[in-house]
Amino acid sequence: MSIPVAVLISGRGSNMEALIKAANRPGYPARISLVISNKKEAKGLSIAQEYGIRTQIIAHEDYETREHFESALHNVLIENQIQLVCLAGFMRILGAEFVGKWAGKILNIHPSLLPALKGLNTHERAIQARMRRHGCTVHFVSAEMDEGPIIAQAAIPVHVDDTSDTLAKRVIESEHWLYPACLRSLACGDVQMPRKP
Ligand code: GRF
Protein backbone atom coordinates (compact mmCIF):
# COMPACT_ATOMS: atom_id res chain seq x y z
CA MET A 1 0.00 0.00 0.00
CA SER A 2 1.39 3.39 -0.93
CA ILE A 3 1.29 6.28 1.52
CA PRO A 4 -0.98 9.25 0.66
CA VAL A 5 0.99 12.47 0.30
CA ALA A 6 -0.06 16.10 -0.13
CA VAL A 7 2.23 18.52 -1.93
CA LEU A 8 1.95 22.19 -0.93
CA ILE A 9 2.90 24.75 -3.55
CA SER A 10 2.73 28.48 -4.21
CA GLY A 11 4.06 28.71 -7.75
CA ARG A 12 5.50 26.91 -10.72
CA GLY A 13 5.43 23.40 -9.25
CA SER A 14 8.39 21.75 -10.95
CA ASN A 15 9.34 19.82 -7.79
CA MET A 16 5.70 18.84 -7.39
CA GLU A 17 5.78 17.47 -10.94
CA ALA A 18 8.99 15.54 -10.21
CA LEU A 19 7.29 13.97 -7.16
CA ILE A 20 4.17 13.10 -9.19
CA LYS A 21 6.26 11.48 -11.93
CA ALA A 22 8.27 9.45 -9.41
CA ALA A 23 5.15 8.37 -7.55
CA ASN A 24 3.59 7.17 -10.81
CA ARG A 25 6.39 4.64 -11.26
CA PRO A 26 5.56 1.08 -10.23
CA GLY A 27 6.64 0.17 -6.72
CA TYR A 28 7.04 3.74 -5.43
CA PRO A 29 5.93 3.66 -1.77
CA ALA A 30 3.95 6.94 -1.83
CA ARG A 31 1.22 8.45 -3.97
CA ILE A 32 0.48 12.13 -4.49
CA SER A 33 -3.19 12.32 -3.50
CA LEU A 34 -3.63 16.06 -3.23
CA VAL A 35 -1.94 19.29 -4.27
CA ILE A 36 -2.74 22.36 -2.19
CA SER A 37 -1.81 25.90 -3.16
CA ASN A 38 -2.05 29.02 -1.02
CA LYS A 39 -2.03 31.05 -4.27
CA LYS A 40 -4.98 30.94 -6.65
CA GLU A 41 -2.77 31.67 -9.65
CA ALA A 42 -0.08 29.03 -8.98
CA LYS A 43 0.98 27.49 -12.27
CA GLY A 44 1.51 24.13 -10.60
CA LEU A 45 -2.26 23.71 -10.08
CA SER A 46 -2.96 23.12 -13.78
CA ILE A 47 0.08 20.82 -14.07
CA ALA A 48 -1.25 18.67 -11.20
CA GLN A 49 -4.69 18.55 -12.86
CA GLU A 50 -3.09 17.35 -16.11
CA TYR A 51 -1.84 14.35 -14.14
CA GLY A 52 -5.34 13.77 -12.77
CA ILE A 53 -4.44 14.86 -9.25
CA ARG A 54 -6.95 16.66 -7.08
CA THR A 55 -6.09 20.23 -6.25
CA GLN A 56 -7.33 22.61 -3.64
CA ILE A 57 -6.71 26.30 -3.06
CA ILE A 58 -6.42 27.41 0.55
CA ALA A 59 -5.57 31.08 0.14
CA HIS A 60 -3.93 32.53 3.20
CA GLU A 61 -5.46 35.93 2.52
CA ASP A 62 -8.94 34.44 3.01
CA TYR A 63 -8.15 33.88 6.69
CA GLU A 64 -7.92 36.45 9.44
CA THR A 65 -4.91 34.96 11.16
CA ARG A 66 -2.14 32.51 10.44
CA GLU A 67 -3.67 30.16 13.02
CA HIS A 68 -6.99 30.11 11.12
CA PHE A 69 -5.20 29.45 7.83
CA GLU A 70 -3.15 26.64 9.33
CA SER A 71 -6.15 25.10 11.03
CA ALA A 72 -7.98 25.01 7.63
CA LEU A 73 -4.88 23.44 6.09
CA HIS A 74 -4.66 20.84 8.85
CA ASN A 75 -8.35 19.95 8.51
CA VAL A 76 -8.09 19.44 4.76
CA LEU A 77 -5.05 17.19 5.24
CA ILE A 78 -6.90 15.11 7.85
CA GLU A 79 -10.12 14.93 5.78
CA ASN A 80 -8.05 13.57 2.91
CA GLN A 81 -6.27 11.04 5.13
CA ILE A 82 -2.91 12.51 4.21
CA GLN A 83 0.03 10.95 6.02
CA LEU A 84 3.00 12.89 4.64
CA VAL A 85 3.34 16.47 3.40
CA CYS A 86 5.92 17.80 0.94
CA LEU A 87 6.47 21.54 0.75
CA ALA A 88 7.55 22.35 -2.78
CA GLY A 89 8.05 26.07 -3.25
CA PHE A 90 5.39 26.78 -0.59
CA MET A 91 6.02 30.39 0.34
CA ARG A 92 4.42 30.56 3.79
CA ILE A 93 6.15 30.02 7.09
CA LEU A 94 4.27 27.41 9.11
CA GLY A 95 3.82 28.00 12.84
CA ALA A 96 4.96 25.83 15.72
CA GLU A 97 1.51 24.42 16.45
CA PHE A 98 0.94 23.19 12.89
CA VAL A 99 4.48 21.89 12.54
CA GLY A 100 4.18 20.13 15.92
CA LYS A 101 1.08 18.26 14.74
CA TRP A 102 2.93 17.07 11.64
CA ALA A 103 6.36 16.56 13.20
CA GLY A 104 8.40 14.04 11.27
CA LYS A 105 5.82 14.00 8.49
CA ILE A 106 6.57 17.24 6.64
CA LEU A 107 9.53 17.70 4.30
CA ASN A 108 10.84 20.77 2.53
CA ILE A 109 13.33 21.28 -0.26
CA HIS A 110 15.62 24.28 -0.12
CA PRO A 111 17.93 25.47 -2.92
CA SER A 112 21.22 25.59 -1.00
CA LEU A 113 23.50 23.38 1.02
CA LEU A 114 21.99 24.17 4.41
CA PRO A 115 22.91 25.53 6.89
CA ALA A 116 24.49 27.87 4.30
CA LEU A 117 22.20 30.36 2.57
CA LYS A 118 18.90 30.09 4.40
CA GLY A 119 16.14 32.25 2.95
CA LEU A 120 15.66 33.63 -0.55
CA ASN A 121 17.83 34.35 -3.63
CA THR A 122 20.25 31.57 -2.82
CA HIS A 123 21.80 31.25 -6.30
CA GLU A 124 22.63 34.95 -6.52
CA ARG A 125 24.06 34.87 -3.01
CA ALA A 126 26.17 31.76 -3.73
CA ILE A 127 27.77 33.57 -6.68
CA GLN A 128 28.29 36.81 -4.76
CA ALA A 129 29.96 34.91 -1.93
CA ARG A 130 32.18 33.11 -4.50
CA MET A 131 31.12 29.75 -3.15
CA ARG A 132 32.69 26.87 -4.96
CA ARG A 133 29.91 24.46 -4.12
CA HIS A 134 26.18 24.95 -4.03
CA GLY A 135 23.21 22.62 -4.25
CA CYS A 136 19.99 21.68 -2.53
CA THR A 137 18.80 20.15 0.72
CA VAL A 138 15.77 18.09 1.72
CA HIS A 139 14.97 18.43 5.40
CA PHE A 140 12.24 17.81 7.94
CA VAL A 141 10.28 20.96 8.64
CA SER A 142 10.63 22.50 12.09
CA ALA A 143 9.20 25.73 13.46
CA GLU A 144 12.38 27.65 12.53
CA MET A 145 12.73 28.42 8.82
CA ASP A 146 15.18 26.15 6.91
CA GLU A 147 16.36 24.64 10.21
CA GLY A 148 14.89 21.14 10.55
CA PRO A 149 16.99 17.95 10.52
CA ILE A 150 18.58 17.33 7.13
CA ILE A 151 17.73 14.13 5.26
CA ALA A 152 20.00 14.54 2.23
CA GLN A 153 21.82 17.09 0.09
CA ALA A 154 22.96 17.21 -3.53
CA ALA A 155 26.09 19.30 -4.13
CA ILE A 156 27.08 20.78 -7.46
CA PRO A 157 30.14 22.85 -8.40
CA VAL A 158 29.81 26.58 -9.04
CA HIS A 159 31.63 27.41 -12.29
CA VAL A 160 33.55 30.69 -12.66
CA ASP A 161 31.29 31.77 -15.49
CA ASP A 162 28.03 30.80 -13.78
CA THR A 163 25.23 33.34 -13.58
CA SER A 164 22.41 32.92 -11.10
CA ASP A 165 20.33 31.57 -14.01
CA THR A 166 22.80 28.90 -15.12
CA LEU A 167 23.37 27.88 -11.52
CA ALA A 168 19.62 27.79 -10.81
CA LYS A 169 19.14 25.51 -13.81
CA ARG A 170 21.64 22.95 -12.53
CA VAL A 171 20.39 23.15 -8.94
CA ILE A 172 16.77 22.56 -9.94
CA GLU A 173 17.84 19.48 -11.93
CA SER A 174 19.36 18.07 -8.76
CA GLU A 175 16.23 18.99 -6.77
CA HIS A 176 14.14 16.93 -9.16
CA TRP A 177 15.89 13.67 -8.31
CA LEU A 178 16.78 14.38 -4.68
CA TYR A 179 13.26 15.15 -3.49
CA PRO A 180 11.65 11.95 -4.87
CA ALA A 181 14.55 9.92 -3.45
CA CYS A 182 14.03 11.41 0.03
CA LEU A 183 10.26 10.97 -0.05
CA ARG A 184 10.82 7.34 -1.02
CA SER A 185 13.14 6.83 1.96
CA LEU A 186 10.68 8.43 4.38
CA ALA A 187 7.65 6.60 2.98
CA CYS A 188 9.29 3.21 3.26
CA GLY A 189 10.62 3.90 6.75
CA ASP A 190 14.33 4.08 5.93
CA VAL A 191 14.59 7.53 7.52
CA GLN A 192 12.74 9.18 10.35
CA MET A 193 13.00 12.47 12.19
CA PRO A 194 15.61 12.15 14.95
CA ARG A 195 14.22 12.49 18.45
CA LYS A 196 15.46 15.44 20.48
CA PRO A 197 18.25 14.35 22.82
C1 GRF B 1 12.70 25.40 -5.52
O2 GRF B 1 13.95 25.96 -5.85
C3 GRF B 1 12.71 24.92 -4.10
O4 GRF B 1 13.96 24.47 -3.67
C5 GRF B 1 12.33 26.15 -3.32
O6 GRF B 1 11.39 26.81 -4.14
C7 GRF B 1 11.61 26.46 -5.50
C8 GRF B 1 10.32 25.92 -6.00
O9 GRF B 1 10.35 25.66 -7.37
N10 GRF B 1 11.82 25.81 -2.03
P11 GRF B 1 9.21 24.79 -8.04
O12 GRF B 1 7.89 25.51 -7.75
O13 GRF B 1 9.22 23.44 -7.44
O14 GRF B 1 9.51 24.76 -9.50
Residue pair 70/38 in contact by the 8 Å Cβ criterion: no
Residues of 18-37 as b/e, b for ≥16 C-beta within 10 angstroms?
bbbebbeeeebbbebbbbbb
pLDDT in tens, 47-56: 999 999 999 9
Active site residue 74: no
Taking CA atoms only, the protein residue closest to ligand 1 atom 5 is 89
pTM for the complete prediction?
A: 0.97
For 104, which DSSP code?
Answer: T
Residue nearest to atom 12 of ligand 1 (CA): 13
Rounded to the nearest 5 degrees, what angle is found at the Cα of 108, between the Cα atoms of 16 and 172? 55
Active-site option among 60, 74, 110, 123: 110
CATH of domain 3-188: 3.40.50.170
What mean pLDDT comes out for the span 103-110?
98
Other CB atoms within 10 A of residue 17 CB: 21
Tell me: pLDDT of 98 over 80. Answer: yes
**pLDDT (0 to 100) of residue 197:** 63
pLDDT tens-digit map of 140-165:
999 998 999 999 999 999 999 999 99
